[in-house]
Amino acid sequence: MDQLKTLLATAPDRIQAAPNLEALREVENQLLGRKSLVAESRRSLASLPSEERPVVGAQLNEAHQRLTALIEGRRADLERIAEDGLLLGDRVDVTLPARELRLGWHHLVTQTLDEVADIFVSLGYGVVTGPEVDTAWHNFDALNTPPTHPSRLESDTMYVDYGNPDDELLLRTQTSTMQVRYMEQHDPPVYIVAPGRCYRADTLDATHSPVFHQIEGLAVDENISMADLKGTLAHFMREFLGSERKIRLLPHFFPFTEPSAEMHVSCFNCDGSGCRVCGKSGWIELLGCGVVDPHVLEAVGYDTSKYSGFAFGVGAERLAMVRHGINHIKHFYENDLRVLRQFT
């Protein structure tokens, strides 16, 4: 009984000193476990005289209840402290500003293609698409490009199946292939634009890339002339670039148009005074155009005595560079968000 009194005297401090639930369980095992003084005393009750057992038993029960109450009280305190710690860790400061969720947007090249297409759709044109891997017939032969033309060399064109006697496969060098495919399946009149990705074995520089985007335009109808082409392109340039940009048409040669021309626009970087971007000329070549060669119309079965047409092709990257003052084509492909976010 003296040991039990000593235990009851020291137990409150031991229980209160437990810093956490695991330490409290260890103290509980020492005070009330199978090897504790209380448990051993209960097991020894049988050896006591019968008249002492009730008294000692009552004291042991009272000690057990007192220790249990102290332990449960400390356990409740420790559980509350632990819960408060979890709540503190999960606390959200509702006064802080909310996280900004950035919305995605179309790439500048896609925006350019869409805007050009919209301008021509407003004139009554349709939009067509086609395969990026196409045949040499659609890419060259049907467009009046002879087998000896230098553009058909492997140094200029990326072939998938080169030298095939039946038909060579290649990555299209121009979206004019879609014009041929459309005319094969549709009778005149034809008014279409064909946007898409093209491939050429070009060296990367300020205005050229081996992979680029182009949008072709084609009109085939009765009595189409060069005057219709000039008027259409003038309207397009006014809508897309504004009236402040200077434009000129220079005679040129393309196998699929006759007569042919290049449209130049005053340099966005130097405003026509001459710089590295424009090759010191003050002008940037913007697009090629011309009246469709009769051989192209004959290749798809059109009656050249009744129908004529015009065609043009323009690079989407060049249009965007001229309009927004971008001085190198690489900025479209580096995925630098500091650049792209300027055109959301």
Same domain, 80 and 156: no
Which of these three, 89, 116, 132, is where a domain ends?
89
Q: What sign does the CA torsion over 11, 13, 16, 19 have?
A: negative
Same domain, 142 and 190: yes
Length of the chain: 344
Neighbour count for residue 268 (Cβ, 10 Å): 20
Which of these three, 44, 62, 89, is where a domain ends?
89
pTM beyond cutoff 0.85: no
Q: Which of 57, 28, 33 is nearest to 45 (CA)?
A: 57
Q: What is the mean pLDDT of residues 165-175?
A: 85
- Domain membership of residue 222 (yes or no) is yes
- Domain membership of residue 54 (yes or no) is yes
Classify residue 226 by burial, with Cβ atoms within 10 Å: 0-12, 13-18, 19+.
middle
Same domain, 182 and 294: yes
Nearest 5°: the CA angle 273, 230, 115 is: 80
- Domain membership of residue 102 (yes or no) is no
Q: Which of 235, 241, 188, 197 is nearest to 216 (CA)?
A: 197
- Return d(Cα 289, Cα 134) in angstroms, integer: 22
What three-state secondary structure class fits 119? helix
**Span 223-264, pLDDT tens digits:** 999 999 999 998 998 899 887 778 888 999 999 999 999 998
- Domain membership of residue 314 (yes or no) is yes
- Return d(Cα 342, Cα 321) in angstroms, integer: 13
More confident residue, 87 or 186: 186
Same domain, 294 and 264: yes
β partners of residue 301 = none
Chain centre to alpha carbon of residue 120: 27
Same domain, 83 and 124: no
Q: Which of 245, 234, 213, 233 is nearest to 318 (CA)?
A: 213
Same domain, 135 and 52: no
Q: How confident is the model at residue 339 (pLDDT cuts 50, 70, 90)?
A: confident
Same domain, 38 and 113: no
CB 261 within 8 A of CB 251: yes
Q: How confident is the model at residue 165 (pLDDT cuts 50, 70, 90)?
A: low
- Domain membership of residue 100 (yes or no) is no
- Domain membership of residue 75 (yes or no) is yes
How many structural domains comprise the chain?
2
Burial 20-50 (b: 16+ CB within 10 A, else e): eeeebeebbeebbeeebbbeebeeeeeeeee
- Domain membership of residue 238 (yes or no) is yes
- Domain membership of residue 33 (yes or no) is yes
Same domain, 46 and 128: no
Same domain, 253 and 161: yes
- What percent of the chain clears pLDDT 90, i.e. is strictly above it? 44
Same domain, 203 and 317: yes
- Return d(Cα 232, Cα 235) in angstroms, integer: 5
**DSSP string across 14-27:** HHHH--SHHHHHHH
Same domain, 16 and 72: yes
Same domain, 214 and 331: yes
Give every CB contact of residue 316 below 8 A, 6+ residues apart in sequence: 109, 112, 113, 116, 195, 212, 213, 214, 215
First to last CA, the chain: 85
Distances (CA, A) of 60 to 12, 31, 73, 133, 154: 17, 12, 20, 94, 102
Q: How confident is the model at residue 153 (pLDDT cuts 50, 70, 90)?
A: confident
**Span 52-73, pLDDT tens digits:** 778 777 887 888 888 888 888 8
- Return d(Cα 169, Cα 132) in angstroms, integer: 10
Parent domain of 56:
2-89
